[in-house]
Structure 1
Amino acid sequence: MTREGTRVAMLSVHTSPLDQPGVGDAGGMNVYVTGLAQALAARGAEVEIFTRATSSELAEIVPVSDGVVVHHVPAGPYEGLDKTELPGQLCAFTAGVLRTEAARAPRSYDVVHSHYWLSGHVGWLAADRWDVPLVHTMHTLAKVKNAALAPGDAPEPAGRVIGEEQVVAAAHALVASTAEEASDLVDLYDADPAAVHVVAPGVDLDLFHPGTTDLGPAGLASAQATARTELGLAADEPLVLFAGRIQPLKAPDVLVRALAELGERGRPVPRLVLLGGPSGARHGLDELHALAARLGVADRVHVHPPVERGLLARWFRAADVVAVPSRSESFGLVAAEAQACGTPVVAAGVGGLRTVVADGVSGQLVRGHDPHRWARVLGDLLADPARRASLGAGAARNGRRLGWDAAAASMLKVYDLAAGRLADERSRSRDVPTGPRSRSLPRADAAGWQA
């Protein structure tokens, strides 16, 4: 496979890169798929993203940028399907993907890159049919999520766990966002360590930046004041920002409880702004409002709909602290983007957040989800402008290393390595004197299954 002109079929079944992050099932994965595709295209690749059509008004093909297009594939009813119901539509989705390729000249793609386990099953069949390598990014892992459930949250079903195990066995390369996720794939899913590659996601540094070249206290304070003026916010009111879906996994309730704890201790209670919508039913948002009212902090909690990316960067610059209290996070894109804007991050010490946030340098990691502990950390940081300025400068420096171009360069190498594994499998299958067998069985043997 040559890197110039590499043709990538990118699969994102359950969420479109064109959807607004922060609502429903749209989140960091949407940003990841779009950012990676555009960075690959900037290096000469051609990327076609396949996602499920969720409206009859969507165009079948939507150009995103030079070298990147999105295909909307009909699979099931346009609306009313929850993510948990999508396994029943994978056959229809796969047929649509294969039909698109069948209408073209043979060998339309050099690699299939699937995102999330549902896409992995489509990619498994497509890659086998087209005789190209399958590269897969999980984004989240059921076994990891089930080990860190919020109280009352439902565990991921056994069907997903089995599905993930099958994709791990079938893929020629598995992409992890952090070394910890790579270890989870090996330890929890028995992945071949040689097939697991760590590629940190990127940040759009043209959008997410401090708004100043002066990373000293005066420069960062000036950039924050500008952002607050543009957003119509008070210049001197302490502001904690949460950006993401309103769901138990993201744990915004921890921040509401921390505000109440600050009030009980007689400490200043900051304004908490949550940029995001409910994931699935609205009841999660209603419950959060009810919790704030019950704890007496409803006037300090403000929920706004998700905003477009440029405006999100402005919110990051306006905040004193960006809080990421997630119970599980494979990477933590919000934390990366906030740091790139020069804003310190207070994050739960879980998953990829332990890698993204440099504890004591660009922010602070909090062990567990005890509101008392979160109140102490947030209160102390808000009361110490000098420390916030120091962490903000460290955050900007830390965020600079996370551009998408580096991620794309690493991903192209992964594609090459996956092609090499496929070539090795072909060679081994030719050396085994057997009767007629489907092409998928030698691959399964190589992955360690019993044929």
Structure 2
Amino acid sequence: MRVAMISVHTSPLEQPGTGDAGGMNVYVLELSRALVRRGAEVEIYTRATSSAQPKAVDAEPGIKVVHIPAGPFEGLDKNDLPGQLCAFAAGVLRAEAHRPEDWYDVVHAHYWLSGQVGWLATERWDVPLVHSMHTMARVKNAALAPGDRPEPMVRIVGEEQVVAEADALVASTEQEADDLTSWYGAERSRVHVVPPGVDTQLFSPLPEAAGGRAVLRERLGLPAGRDVVLFAGRIQLLKGPDVLVRALSAWPAGRRRPLLVVLGGASGTRTAVRELEALAWQEGVSDDVLVRPAVPQDELAGWFRAADLVAVPSHNESFGLVAAEALASGTPVVAAAVGGLRTVVADGESGALVPGHDPARWARTLADLLADEQRRARMARAARASAARFSWDHAAGEMLQVYEAARRRHADSRGVPGPVNIA
């Protein structure tokens, strides 16, 4: 099966945790890898962000990344990209034009911008459109962080159009499937729940060895004998790192504050990192906050293992890949009780779910867990087991079935004989 993946605003080759790169980058790349292991060929179309980028890169055997020029290479915010969709779509069609007819079997678009391009491409190529929302404007606007800007109407209308036109919609959780039907009126028969996976070979617990964590922490430059709470992700209001900084200032009296490590880069505004550091200074906890740039996946696994707790205080998450990767690494997760995090984190078993974003409540939850080593050890054991539910190979198998369902629906809509199953 030949699959055209479309990821307009962020490339799977970019470093997750910076700019617009995040869990979706990991999702697109890891799903593509798993599809290739099952015999598929994948080409990923993404916007070129540098004149030095080659037109196409063979990222791995079976996976090609195609860079499409659309607008200025640099300086475009994600909110500016709707004005470049026509140029991007033209570039995609031009790149495919030299291919034989019926080259692709399916188009899988990620995020609403890609869905708009995929809609046009599938009409031109007469193939089915499969779409993954990843986040939804209506859901996000209903749970905005204080001070955050709501998503614009152009996105809401764009999402509604893609939901109406896609042959299949992919949700990561049952909650996301419900959101698609309740917020966007999606036909439930076209919504397929396919949980993302986790690379459990890369994200695995620290081996049982004398001094293992101490050695790891020394290598990472972390202080010995101090509790460590880790936040990994883009530094933006949606992800809630400010909640953790404020929680430190609301820490229960008589208990030593942990070191809060923030791994990530600015997103949405280039001053986000400085603003977070300024907030720590205003709250009087600068000495308790360590901000470091985002790191590659293999290094991130080490940070997860070194932490006592991983905190995910997002205001909205369609799934929560960071939480799943942390659990696979054997580290309990304290997460906001929102979206897909309620599926990933088993409250009281592999971690704790915190209702709302009140800093004092977050402080109490974190402090109580850090003070109870036996409880954390039980959670750590349950964490690894719970993450085993999420497999990229299983996700790829389910996705191939979604592609076949989309092909059947597409053929039926045109009154032609259905395709032969090639999954």
TM-score tier by shorter-chain length is over 0.9
| C-alpha distance in structure 2 between counterparts of 1:84 and 1:31, whole Å | 22
Q: SS of 2:43's equivalent?
A: strand
Which residue pairs with 1:355 in the alignment?
Answer: 343
Deviation sequence 1:69-117 (CA, Å, 0-9, x none): 1000011110011100101111111111111111111111000000000
| Counterpart code for 1:388 | R
Which residue pairs with 2:286 in the alignment?
Answer: 298
- Out of 381, 385, 410, the residue aligned to residue 398 of structure 2 is 410
- Out of 160, 165, 185, the residue aligned to residue 180 of structure 2 is 185
Which residue pairs with 2:59 in the alignment?
Answer: 64
| Counterpart code for 1:362 | S
> Is the CA contact 1:223–1:317 (under 8 Å) kept in the aligned structure 2?
no
| C-alpha distance in structure 1 between counterparts of 2:167 and 2:260, whole Å | 44
| Counterpart code for 1:323 | A
- Out of 226, 229, 241, the residue aligned to residue 252 of structure 1 is 241
| Counterpart code for 1:285 | V
Deviation sequence 1:307-354 (CA, Å, 0-9, x none): 011000000000000000000000000000000000000000000000
Deviation sequence 1:279-321 (CA, Å, 0-9, x none): 0322222221111111110010010000011000000000000
Which residue pairs with 2:298 in the alignment?
Answer: 310
Which residue pairs with 1:443 in the alignment?
Answer: none
1:365 aligns with 2:353: yes
1:136 aligns with 2:116: no
Deviation sequence 1:191-236 (CA, Å, 0-9, x none): 0100000000111122111133xxxxxx498553343233232332
| C-alpha distance in structure 2 between counterparts of 1:224 and 1:384, whole Å | 18
Which residue pairs with 1:345 in the alignment?
Answer: 333
| C-alpha distance in structure 1 between counterparts of 2:215 and 2:343, whole Å | 30
Q: SS of 2:414's equivalent?
A: helix
Give every structure 1 segment of 4 or more consecutive aligned residues whose post-TM-superposition deviation is greater than 4 Å.
220-223
Deviation sequence 1:128-185 (CA, Å, 0-9, x none): 1111100000000000000011111110001100000000000000000100000000
Cα gap change, 1:346 to 1:69, in 2 (>3 Å):
same
Cα deviation for residue 365 of structure 1 reads 0.3
Cα gap change, 1:422 to 1:223, in 2 (>3 Å):
farther
Cα deviation for residue 409 of structure 1 reads 0.5
Cα deviation for residue 33 of structure 1 reads 0.4
Cα deviation for residue 25 of structure 1 reads 0.5
Which residue pairs with 1:445 in the alignment?
Answer: none
> Is the CA contact 1:251–1:327 (under 8 Å) kept in the aligned structure 2?
yes
Which residue pairs with 2:273 in the alignment?
Answer: 285
Deviation sequence 1:31-76 (CA, Å, 0-9, x none): 0000100110011000000000000000111111111010000111
Q: SS of 2:250's equivalent?
A: helix
Deviation sequence 1:341-370 (CA, Å, 0-9, x none): 000000000000000111111100000000
1:324 aligns with 2:312: yes
Which residue pairs with 2:38 in the alignment?
Answer: 43
| C-alpha distance in structure 1 between counterparts of 2:400 and 2:6, whole Å | 16
| C-alpha distance in structure 1 between counterparts of 2:374 and 2:244, whole Å | 23
| C-alpha distance in structure 1 between counterparts of 2:115 and 2:128, whole Å | 12
Which residue pairs with 1:242 in the alignment?
Answer: 231
Cα gap change, 1:390 to 1:221, in 2 (>3 Å):
farther
> Is the CA contact 1:55–1:78 (under 8 Å) kept in the aligned structure 2?
yes
| C-alpha distance in structure 2 between counterparts of 1:101 and 1:72, whole Å | 13
| C-alpha distance in structure 2 between counterparts of 1:221 and 1:299, whole Å | 30
Counting only pairs closer than 5 Å after superposition, residues 21-170 of structure 1 correspond to structure 2 as 21-170=16-165
**How many percent identity over aligned positions?**
64
> Is the CA contact 1:178–1:330 (under 8 Å) kept in the aligned structure 2?
yes
Q: SS of 1:135's equivalent?
A: strand
- Out of 290, 315, 322, the residue aligned to residue 334 of structure 1 is 322
Which residue pairs with 1:233 in the alignment?
Answer: 222
| C-alpha distance in structure 1 between counterparts of 2:351 and 2:314, whole Å | 15
- Out of 371, 385, 410, the residue aligned to residue 422 of structure 1 is 410
| C-alpha distance in structure 1 between counterparts of 2:397 and 2:173, whole Å | 16
| C-alpha distance in structure 1 between counterparts of 2:278 and 2:41, whole Å | 48
TM-score, structure 2 length as denominator? 0.97
| Counterpart code for 2:308 | D
| Counterpart code for 1:279 | S
> Is the CA contact 1:209–1:341 (under 8 Å) kept in the aligned structure 2?
yes
> Is the CA contact 1:210–1:223 (under 8 Å) kept in the aligned structure 2?
no
TM-score, structure 1 length as denominator? 0.91
| C-alpha distance in structure 1 between counterparts of 2:257 and 2:329, whole Å | 24
| Counterpart code for 2:320 | G
- Out of 158, 180, 193, the residue aligned to residue 198 of structure 1 is 193
> Is the CA contact 1:220–1:342 (under 8 Å) kept in the aligned structure 2?
no
Gap regions ≥5 residues in structure 2: 418-423
CA-based RMSD of the aligned residues comes to 1.3
Number of residue pairs matched? 417
- Out of 253, 267, 274, the residue aligned to residue 265 of structure 1 is 253
1:395 aligns with 2:390: no
